[in-house]
Amino acid sequence: MVLYSEPQRATALGIFPYFTQPDPELNRDSAGRDPLGVLPVWSEVGRGLVPCLASPVLQANGIRAVLLIHWIGDLPRFQKLLTSAARMRGFLRLMEGIVEYWLSVSDRRICFGSQALAAAGNEFKVTATSGKTVANGLHQYYRGSCQRAGLFDSDWAVEGALGALFEKVWTESATKALAQALEPVLERGKLAVDLLLATNPQIDEAFERVFESTAISAHLCCILGEDRHRALARTFAELRRQDLKLHERAERLASDALSVEIERMHLCEPFLLVLQDTFTILRASPGLPISKVAAGIQHCAESMRQRAAAFVDLEGQVRSPRMRPLQKLAQLLANPGQPAMQVTMEAFMCALVAYHRECMEERGRDPMVVLEGDVVVLPGGAERDADFARERLITGQPWDNDYYLNTAAIICRQLDEGQA
C-alpha cells in the first residue's frame, strides 16, 4: 500500500518538510518495527551493495522455484487452463505447495512452511485458496528480487535464456501430469501432494533435473548483481565464517569497485543507531521532563555529534524522501554553532519526537512517544530497559542493519554450492 503525505504541513519545531513522493516502505504494518521510518534510507544505501535481493530471500531453492513455477505457467498446456486471475493465483499457490513438499521429502532446503509440512507429514495437502506461507511465500517475497535481477520481465515472464535452460531439463510428460492433477483444483478442492508425486515419478524426476542443474545455478548468479557485487558477496560470505559481529565484518569489507558504496554504509548506520537508541531512551523515560532525559545522555554527546556530522556528509547521495528529515535531525545535533550541548540535545530529542509523530500519523497509527509540555508521555507503553541503548550511544556498536549483505552472502554460498 502506497501512502502519500499532505503537502506543506508544519511540525511543532517547523524543521521538517512534508514530502509528497510515495513512500511504499512507510505503512501500517511497519509502524512497530520501524517507528522512525529509517528502512527506506538504509535500504537505498544497501542497494548500492546488493542491488536485487530482499532480506527474506534466504534460499537459492526459492529463487529457482518461483522462476520455474512461472515458466511452467506460461507453457501452452497451462495457458489453456489459466484463463482468469483467480485460476492463475490458484495455480501459483498449488505449485508453491508442491515444490515446498518436494524439497522437504527430497532433503533439500525448504523456503517456507516448516510447521505446516511437519504437522501434515506425508498427508500434506494444498488448496488454491490457502493463506499459509507454504503456498504464498515465494510469490510474496521472492518475485521482486527476481524481477530486479532481470529474471522476470514486467509481465512476470521468465527471461529467455533461463527459459531455454528450463526447457532442456523439464519434460512434456511432467507438464502433462501436473496439468491433469491441477485442473480440477485450480479454484476449489484439495490436492494431496504425496499422492501426486507417488503416482507421477516423471514430476519428481523433472524437479530433480531442475534443482541439480549447475547451468541454472550459474545463470541465477545474476541475482547478486554485477561481477563487483558478486565478488563483494563472496567476500562477506568468507567474513561470515569468522567469529565476528556485523560491524566487525563491515569494517573488514573492502572493494575497490564499491568503495564509495561501502563508505556510504559506514556513514549511514552509526547515525541510524543514534536515532534508534535515543528513541529507546525516550520510551524508557515516562513522566520525566525532556531536560532530565537529555542530561542523562550528556556524556554521550560527543560521540553522537560525530556520527551525526558523518551522516550530514551523505547529503545529496541518498534520494529517498526519508533522507530529508533525517538530514535535518543530523544537522541539528551536529551543528557546531550551538552555545551549549545540553540545549542541542534537548532540541534534538524534541525534533525526534515530532518526526516520529509524523511518521505514525502517515501510517494512521498513534505515536509511541509524545511530549505534553516538556514531559515525556508514552501512549504505547514504556521500554523496559535502556541500558543497552545508553551504552551503544557511546560505542556505536553493534549494528542493527546489515544492508542486505548477509542475504547476499547466504545466496552466494548456496549458488556456488549448486555449481560444485
Residue-averaged pLDDT of the chain: 90
316: pLDDT strictly greater than 80: yes
Shared domain check, 375 and 294: yes
Please report where in the chains the cell 535481493 appears, as a residue.
53
The pLDDT of 232-236, averaged and rounded, is 97
pTM: 0.88
Question: Residue 137 domain-assigned?
Answer: yes
- Residue 249 included in any domain: no
Q: Does any domain span residue 311?
A: yes
DSSP code for 30: G
- Are 315 and 171 members of one domain? no
Confidence check: pLDDT of 32 > 70: no
Q: Note down the domain range covering 70.
A: 60-224
98 & 163 share domain: yes
Claim to verify: residue 219 and residue 136 sit in the same structural domain: yes
> Do 192 and 279 have their domain in common?
no
The answer to whether residue 397 sits within a structural domain is yes
Residues 114 and 260 reside in one and the same domain: no
Whether residue 88 lies inside any domain: the answer is yes
Please report the pLDDT score of residue 120 as a whole number: 87
Hey, what amino acid is at 115? Q
- Do 388 and 292 belong to one domain? yes
The verdict on 319 and 179 lying in the same domain is no
**Domain assignment of residue 81, yes or no:** yes
Q: What is the pLDDT of residues 110-151, one digit of tens each?
A: 999 999 999 988 899 999 999 999 999 999 999 999 999 999
Q: Give domain status of residue 410, yes or no.
A: no
Residue 291 and residue 184 in one domain:
no
Classify residue 10: in a domain, yes or no. no
Let me know whether 40 and 140 are in one domain.
Answer: no
- Least confident among 5-19, 109-123, 293-307, 372-386: 5-19
Which residues lie below 8 Å from residue 290, measured CB to CB, with a gap of 6+? 346, 349, 350, 371, 374, 375, 376
Of 62, 124, 71, the C-alpha closest to 98 is 124
Q: What is the pLDDT of residue 335?
A: 78
The 10s digit of each residue's pLDDT in 268-291 is: 999 999 999 999 999 999 999 999
Same domain, 297 and 265: yes
Angle at 14 between CA 287 and CA 41, to 5 degrees: 85
Total of domains in the chain: 2
Residues 40 and 64 both lie in one domain:
no
- The larger pLDDT score, comparing residue 41 to residue 20, is at 41
